[in-house]
A and B are shown apart, each in its own frame.
Chain A
């Protein structure tokens, strides 16, 4: 099954791409994804300060700054993975470094 991991945290710490590339915790996670042959892609998102939200109401395009919802945690990245079942997806999500300080929402892909 395909799952998307929504990787969230409160953005109080925002490591640079270089810092993430050098972080052994991320290496370990990537190695685990590779070992399972699970990755179908993914992306790291820039902080919500750079977010723009678009809505169309009555044919008018409404643009606002910031994320779509005011919450403590923001989506900072996504991973698309192929896993046998939810237990495997949970096990993989639990290995993501952000699971330790933020959270990882596991969502099945509508196929």
Chain B
């Protein structure tokens, strides 16, 4: 007998580490996504009882995968009616049933993640499918994180799985010629998962951790892909200062954050991960964003920030991923590096282009630069405009404070 707490902890840990692998293997063997999820669920339920009686196995992942496969075989034997099901059963029965203790279990998660993030699926479905099949979140948890109802999310998942089968989306790691494009689709999904959790105070925090966990897995599976490492580095560096971003419900800008309270272990890991990515010598947008985050994270204090370097990095980022938001960030860096007027000129150009109309950070940035320049009356007008557009309470409180300080 193993203590109940110990078993629960072991099953919880296995769920986190092995769920995706169990599901991925079962999909690989049967091609049936629902069957794979159901049998994985059964295997984890069985683990609670069996591990309490027999102890936690040496290789929980192998135990769970074998158990899930037995379940799948049983179900197919019982329900096998059509030719397709009989074919699945034949494949299952032909595949070696027990893994040799020395043999490595082939990691199928890479096939799973590329299939979940296939560009023929709608973007929200890619995100939901990744969280369900790879990370093991329940449909209810995913629905809550994306502020939709559980039936809506369930339907999104059903439709996506149906399209995979009916449109013939292959269950595979894309060949070399498709890999860069498909990998960037995967990275976009993981970054969205992370960001969905990043801005939340508590409720959706789990998603940020999930994003990091998935990015770590991807780096392990694709060690030669610098952008996967770049994304992981970016997440770690942002996560390191997350707790200091608000104080008592008010946004705290980078400049005013208590740097001693940043998570310096995460910063060290983020910087090391970025260095590994850069050593592969193929730059990309996530590496550049991570490099910008690293500039901030490693500056002793706000005044020591290497703004010329950050401005150069934003120029590089604009080449990889042109966007007016990147231009706005670059304008701030230029203001800090070369002088307020140079930055303001760039902000004015952006305002004139109209591409950021309605985006609260445009007037907020302008206000901030005008304030630094001592032009308080103009700054006040811009803060008021930003206040009208700001989407979160924390930002509105921050803007109000700035306005009252003018």
Contacts and interface: CB of A to CB of B under 8 A. Distances in A.
B166 interface: yes
A91 B404 CA distance: 59
B354 interface: no
B168 interface: yes
A6 B187 CA distance: 31
A7 interface: no
Contacts of A51: none
Interface in B100-132: 118, 120
A89 B169 CA distance: 10
B170 interface: yes
A87 interface: yes
Interface residues of B, number: 9
B31 to A, nearest CB: 12
Contacts, number: 24
Interface in B172-229: 174, 178
Contact of B170 (A3, A86, A108): A86
Contacts of A84: 168, 170
A85 B169 contact: yes
A108 B166 contact: yes
Nearest to A2: B168
Interface string B73-111: 000000000000000000000000000000000000000
B121 to A, nearest CB: 10
A36 to B, nearest CB: 15
A85 B170 CA distance: 6
A32 to B, nearest CB: 15
A46 B274 CA distance: 56
A1 interface: yes
Say what secondary structure dominates the interface of chain B. loop
Contact of A1 (B118, B168, B174, B178): B168
B253 to A, nearest CB: 45
A99 to B, nearest CB: 15
Contacts of B168: 1, 3, 83-86, 89, 108
A86 B174 contact: no
A86 B115 CA distance: 11
Interface centre among B118, B167, B170, B174 (most CB of A within 10 A): B167
Interface centre among A83, A84, A86, A89 (most CB of B within 10 A): A86
A87 B174 contact: yes
Nearest to A1: B168
Contacts of B174: 87
Contacts of A106: 167
B170 A87 contact: yes
Interface string A26-54: 00000000000000000000000000000
Contacts of A85: 168-170
Interface string A43-82: 0000000000000000000000000000000000000000
A85 B174 CA distance: 12
Nearest to B178: A87
Interface of A: 1, 3, 83-87, 89-90, 106, 108
7 contacts: A84-B170, A86-B167, A86-B169, A86-B170, A87-B169, A89-B168, A108-B166
> Which 4 pairs between the two chains have the least Cβ-Cβ distance?
A85-B170, A1-B168, A85-B168, A86-B168
Given A1-B168, A3-B168, A84-B170, 13 more contacts: A85-B168, A85-B169, A85-B170, A86-B118, A86-B120, A86-B170, A87-B169, A87-B170, A87-B174, A87-B178, A106-B167, A108-B166, A108-B167
